[in-house]
Chain A
Amino acid sequence: MPASHIRRLADYDVVVIGAGLSGFMAAAAARARARSVLVIAQGLGVLPLTTGCVDVLADPADPWAALSRLVERLPAHPYSLAGLAAVRRGIDYFLGTCESYGYPFALAPGRNLLLPTLLGTLRPTCYAPTTMASGDLVNTTLQTAGTVLVVGFEGLLDFHPGLVVEGLRRRLPEVRLESTSVALPLPAENDNTPAMYLATCFDKPEYRKLFASRLEASLRGRFGTGRTNPDVVLLPAVLGLDDPVAAARDLEHRLGARVAEVPLLPPSIPGVRLATLWRRHLLRAGVDLVLDARVIGAGSARGRITHVDAQGAGGTARYGGKAFVLATGGLAGNGLCLEGSRLREPVFDLRMAPDVRPGTGSGPGILAGPDLRPPGYDNLFACGRILSGYDPYAEKCGNGVAIATGWRAGELAAGEAEGGAGGGASD
């Protein structure tokens, strides 16, 4: 359709493209500064590919101390571009908001939590939902006394409790570990039991009751004299979508043990919860959301983006903005695409960064300056996986970088929309 026929629907202070974690944070930061904010997104982000924890850095000692060192050492790392103070502000806002929706996170002071995975490996993370945090077996009294019970569900191929136990045993030889599987009523027409289905089941008290009674039946006599219960029960992370904290508490009460979720293969339920929570939060905060719409073009004048054109089910519409945030993700999120053998950022055709850390597994990304501005436009800010210079998987910083850079980009965009310099918050 010729550009002149595209209807200009609305104008905003800040337009965020992308509805993953970094886009959510950017929108929240701009909205917190009383700007009018629009989020346009083609998909729903890659949060369900993550564990739903907030990784800051893999460092087993103190992730925040490691972060300070990293910012000194690697000026092109997205954390450095956001700045240490903004990282703290963003993460504080993230944690506070999650808590206010009844989904609090926990941490281990001065170190990373080490949480069990579905393979029985240990994974460092800085903040975990409380439904997972009891899985941190390192710093508990379990090392001297107590039992961890890993429970699977018969028919759930994505979680094998025996494998988890053996993996954990090699890594935590002093912890007493047991495993069992519970048969639950499952949808007969399904070949595999989807985690999503189980999560909706665990939202219901009667299903939790049934689970607890079947688990107890399968354990009867298992824990011998004087003890009838394990201390910690590790479960697949399917304890509900509506109120997982209440579901976990209910199970803890029924089982007389602490309960901890272990994230499954994607889509992970904890990731889905976060995506739902943040969508709800933005709507409540007065952010407009246009989902299932792809930005197919943009207009600019004198080095500033003036509008974007988004194609959705109802046709193509134009949205004007004073500042823009690009939060479209990396390869997995479709923020980068391949044309021939060339990687490209398809919305603004931004310049790709040279590999600044060859050999480290840092993925491809766009070039961005110290204020997260890609060269070429004064009122555009980039955040999240589209940035270069880091390896979210080996460094364990994916969601941390998304929160930090998203928050900072939103602050800067809000400042830009106001006509002022910087983001209002000084570093």
Chain B
Amino acid sequence: MSEVVIIGGGATGVAVLRDLALRGIPAVLVERDDLASGASGRNHGLLHSGGRYAVIDPVAAAECAQENAILRRIAPWAVEPCGGLFVEVGADDPGYVPEWVLACRKAGIEAEEISPQAALEQEPRLNPGVVRAFRVPDAAVDSFRLVYGTAAAAQSLGARVYTKTEVTGLVVEGNRVTGVRLADIPTGEQWILDAELVINAAGAWAGRVAAMAGISLPVVPDRGTLVVYNSRLANRVINRLRLPGDGDIVVPVGTVTIAGTTAVSIDDPDDTRVPPAEVEQVVALVAQMLPELKDRRRLRSFTGVRPLFDPGEAVDAGTDRAGSAAGVSSLATRQLSRNYAVIDHARRDGVAGLVSLLGGKLTTHRLMAEKAVNLAVARLGVRAGCRTATEPIPAPPPVREERTTAGGGAIVCECERVPAEDVLQVAQGLARIDLGVLRRRARVGMGTCQGAFCGYRTVGILHSRGLVEGLQAETLLCDFLRERLRGMGPAPDGYQLRQAELARAIYTGNLNLDLGTGKGGS
């Protein structure tokens, strides 16, 4: 039997890979960039309690509640169980609250009301005008580590992962997809992978993959803009207690706080430009919940592209289970379903050997993968139950040993306290060194200096251990700094301007590198 090929290395793709591996089905995952480089790594880092969806999408809400509990069990190392608050501030519709309380109860979400005073004691930066507050079991999640850990778990069971590998076409024989055409991006080398079944988990790019088999899929790339602050400005996740909208979630994750977001449908999912107006909009809105966010130090802003879909078009004979907001076909993307659909193209389009996953969100990615693999095993004629909800996922590197503070090893990044050991641990497991991967996995360059200090140290350490050669070190460093500078550009605050100035002073001024930063150049 040949293998199942999964297209897309986001949370869903790796969860499908692990699910197949646990059921003993040979599987390969191909990803054109790095794992978690799409929406799975470009989000709030929020493990939803489900409260956000309780009123508008009760099925999604109940699924969030279940999956939240499952992820805490199977990947505790990726979850920061900080809890969450839903807060009603002045000007919010008080009529929404009783409806929300009832919906939470129905969805099985524990929402416990606390007094405004108690909320302010627990979250001193909250708007003092908070009217009502509810505690919910939200959590922060390191989505990078979750994705890497899930992939590594699958690999330890024999599954394979090819990153920097782009799908250039599908092999279609008659009315059946039998393989994928691939290109290794760094070398340009082309090859074909035979597939028993192809699972399209390409997120916002899923429409492009389906089009390679002549199939039209109603994917709506939907941009969300997020703003990163340099410290933890809340103890728990803060949600606005009203109908979901823009700028209504603030998540403390690791050493930073991520605030967002917006929802704007776009044409090109590769467009990661950050519109300054959206940054300003997010800051203004989240500051209604936490007024200090107006002036606190920002690190950068970024966008993620949600793979929304129009259930009105997706729901038909081929759909295993569509989003519960089915029937809504307005292009106002806030009204499109945040739920998901697993599409069997044999039934929907008469093309066998291809299954697509549409929509979805980080919190419920495991469940969506389970449904897709259930369909896959039925198609493959295999009997094997899903074990992903109970089998724990081992933590991926860098796994920090218990360290004593004295002589704890050199620190590459003082902002995030990243030891050189972590960088090396991750780098040694990579076939190809990529500072973006080191950043996502070891958090180098994530913090306040945005790579200005740790950038040089990282390439220096890699070079001294023979992991990169000199020219490569220089190229990696320049690319890394350009990318970091780009994220400081849109609607910067004073700190970002100063930080970017410092980076230019060091690298363009003192090291004479041409970073060609937007305005720069020599």
B residues sitting closer than 8 Å to A (CB atoms) are 280, 406-412, 414, 419-420, 453, 456-457, 459-461, 463-464, 469-471, 473-474, 477, 491-494, 497-498, 501-502, 504-506, 508-514, 517, 519-522
In this complex, what residue of B is CB-closest to A357?
Answer: B519
In this complex, what residue of B is CB-closest to A361?
Answer: B520
Question: Quick check: is A285 within 8 A (CB to CB) of the other chain?
Answer: no
In this complex, what residue of B is CB-closest to A362?
Answer: B519
Query: Most chain-B CB neighbours within 10 Å: which of A120, A155, A188, A393?
Result: A393
B407–A359 contact, CB under 8 A?
no
- Majority SS of interface residues in chain A? loop
B509–A392 contact, CB under 8 A?
yes
8 nearest A-B pairs in the assembled complex, by CB-CB distance: A166-B470, A160-B460, A338-B494, A393-B509, A394-B522, A393-B508, A361-B520, A191-B411
Q: How far is the CB of A341 from chain B (nearest CB, A)?
A: 7
Interface 1/0 per residue, A51-75 and B, CB below 8 Å: 1000000100000000000000000
A58–B463 contact, CB under 8 A?
no
B511–A331 contact, CB under 8 A?
no
Q: Of the candidates A50, A124, A189, which one forms a contact with B512 in the assembled complex, judged by CB atoms under 8 Å apart?
A: A124
- Can you name 9 A-B residue pairings with CB atoms under 8 Å? A123-B511, A160-B461, A163-B460, A163-B464, A166-B473, A167-B474, A192-B411, A265-B453, A398-B509
In this complex, what residue of B is CB-closest to A152?
Answer: B464
In this complex, what residue of A is CB-closest to B500?
Answer: A331
Cα A170 to Cα B472 with chains together (Å): 12
A157–B461 contact, CB under 8 A?
yes
A157–B410 contact, CB under 8 A?
yes
Q: Of the candidates A49, A58, A162, which one forms a contact with B502 in the assembled complex, judged by CB atoms under 8 Å apart?
A: A49
Q: How far is the CB of B460 from chain A (nearest CB, A)?
A: 3
Give the residues in chain B near A242, CB-CB below 8 Å. Answer: none
Interface 1/0 per residue, A313-341 and B, CB below 8 Å: 00000000000000000111010011001
Cα A311 to Cα B468 with chains together (Å): 51
Cα A169 to Cα B469 with chains together (Å): 12
In this complex, what residue of A is CB-closest to B502?
Answer: A332
Question: Quick check: is A363 within 8 A (CB to CB) of the other chain?
Answer: yes
Give the residues in chain B near A104, CB-CB below 8 Å. Answer: none
In this complex, what residue of B is CB-closest to A159?
Answer: B460
Give the residues in chain B near A263, CB-CB below 8 Å. Answer: 510
Give the residues in chain B near A363, CB-CB below 8 Å. Answer: 501
Q: Of the candidates A50, A118, A120, which one forms a contact with B470 in the assembled complex, judged by CB atoms under 8 Å apart?
A: A120
In this complex, what residue of A is CB-closest to B504?
Answer: A393
Give the residues in chain B near A334, CB-CB below 8 Å. Answer: 498
Give the residues in chain B near A119, CB-CB below 8 Å. Answer: 456, 473-474, 477, 511, 513
Q: Of the candidates B420, B493, B506, which one forms a contact with A265 in the assembled complex, judged by CB atoms under 8 Å apart?
A: B506
Question: Quick check: is A158 within 8 A (CB to CB) of the other chain?
Answer: yes
Interface 1/0 per residue, A384-396 and B, CB below 8 Å: 0000000111111
In this complex, what residue of B is CB-closest to A167?
Answer: B470
A331–B498 contact, CB under 8 A?
yes
A170–B471 contact, CB under 8 A?
yes
Cα A338 to Cα B283 with chains together (Å): 15
Known: A163-B463, A393-B509. 14 other contacts (CB 8 A): A51-B509, A58-B522, A119-B456, A155-B410, A160-B463, A166-B463, A189-B406, A332-B502, A338-B494, A343-B497, A392-B505, A393-B505, A394-B508, A398-B509
In this complex, what residue of A is CB-closest to B456?
Answer: A265
Give the residues in chain A near B506, CB-CB below 8 Å. Answer: 49, 265-266
A residues sitting closer than 8 Å to B (CB atoms) are 46, 49-51, 58, 117-124, 155, 157-160, 162-163, 165-167, 169-170, 188-189, 191-192, 263, 265-266, 268, 330-332, 334, 337-338, 341, 343, 359-363, 391-396, 398
A157–B497 contact, CB under 8 A?
no
Query: Most chain-A CB neighbours within 10 Å: which of B411, B493, B511, B522?
Result: B511
Give the residues in chain B near A330, CB-CB below 8 Å. Answer: 501
Cα A269 to Cα B477 with chains together (Å): 24
A163–B501 contact, CB under 8 A?
no
A163–B505 contact, CB under 8 A?
no
B511–A163 contact, CB under 8 A?
no
Q: Of the candidates B494, B502, B521, which one forms a contact with A394 in the assembled complex, judged by CB atoms under 8 Å apart?
A: B521
Cα A337 to Cα B496 with chains together (Å): 11
B511–A157 contact, CB under 8 A?
no
Give the residues in chain B near A337, CB-CB below 8 Å. Answer: 494
Query: Most chain-A CB neighbours within 10 Å: which of B280, B456, B459?
Result: B456
Give the residues in chain A near B512, CB-CB below 8 Å. Answer: 117, 121-124, 396
Cα A268 to Cα B510 with chains together (Å): 10
Q: How far is the CB of A44 from chain B (nearest CB, A)?
A: 15
Q: How far is the CB of B146 from chain A (nearest CB, A)?
A: 28
Give the residues in chain B near A361, CB-CB below 8 Å. Answer: 504, 508, 517, 519-522
A166 and B469 contact, Cβ closer than 8 Å, known pairs A50-B509, A341-B491? yes
Q: How far is the CB of A362 from chain B (nearest CB, A)?
A: 8
Give the residues in chain B near A396, CB-CB below 8 Å. Answer: 509, 512
Q: Of the candidates A118, A155, A165, which one forms a contact with B456 in the assembled complex, judged by CB atoms under 8 Å apart?
A: A118
Cα A332 to Cα B495 with chains together (Å): 9
In this complex, what residue of A is CB-closest to B411?
Answer: A191
A50–B510 contact, CB under 8 A?
yes
Give the residues in chain A near B517, CB-CB below 8 Å. Answer: 361
Query: Most chain-A CB neighbours within 10 Å: which of B280, B491, B514, B522?
Result: B522
Cα A120 to Cα B456 with chains together (Å): 12
Q: How far is the CB of A166 from chain B (nearest CB, A)?
A: 3
Q: How far is the CB of B62 from chain A (nearest CB, A)?
A: 43
A157 and B508 contact, Cβ closer than 8 Å, known pairs A119-B513, A169-B470, A338-B497? no
Give the residues in chain B near A359, CB-CB below 8 Å. Answer: 519, 521
Give the residues in chain A near B514, CB-CB below 8 Å. Answer: 394
Query: Most chain-A CB neighbours within 10 Å: which of B412, B463, B477, B521?
Result: B463
Give the residues in chain A near B411, CB-CB below 8 Å. Answer: 157, 191-192
Q: How far is the CB of A71 from chain B (nearest CB, A)?
A: 19
Give the residues in chain B near A268, CB-CB below 8 Å. Answer: 510
Q: Of the candidates A51, A157, A343, A360, which one forms a contact with B519 in the assembled complex, judged by CB atoms under 8 Å apart?
A: A360
Cα A362 to Cα B517 with chains together (Å): 12
Cα A265 to Cα B454 with chains together (Å): 10
Give the residues in chain A near B280, CB-CB below 8 Å. Answer: 341
Give the residues in chain B near A265, CB-CB below 8 Å. Answer: 453, 456, 506
Q: How far is the CB of A167 from chain B (nearest CB, A)?
A: 6
Q: How far is the CB of A194 from chain B (nearest CB, A)?
A: 11
A117–B406 contact, CB under 8 A?
no
Q: How far is the CB of B30 from chain A (nearest CB, A)?
A: 34
Give the residues in chain B near A192, CB-CB below 8 Å. Answer: 410-411, 414
Give the residues in chain A near B459, CB-CB below 8 Å. Answer: 163
A49–B513 contact, CB under 8 A?
no
Query: Most chain-A CB neighbours within 10 Å: which of B406, B469, B491, B510?
Result: B510
A191–B511 contact, CB under 8 A?
no
In this complex, what residue of B is CB-closest to A49?
Answer: B505
B457–A117 contact, CB under 8 A?
no
In this complex, what residue of B is CB-closest to A191?
Answer: B411
Cα A122 to Cα B461 with chains together (Å): 21
Q: How far is the CB of A241 from chain B (nearest CB, A)?
A: 19
Q: How far is the CB of A8 from chain B (nearest CB, A)?
A: 32
Cα A330 to Cα B500 with chains together (Å): 12
Q: How far is the CB of A129 from chain B (nearest CB, A)?
A: 15
Query: Most chain-A CB neighbours within 10 Å: which of B410, B469, B470, B513?
Result: B470
Cα A334 to Cα B497 with chains together (Å): 11
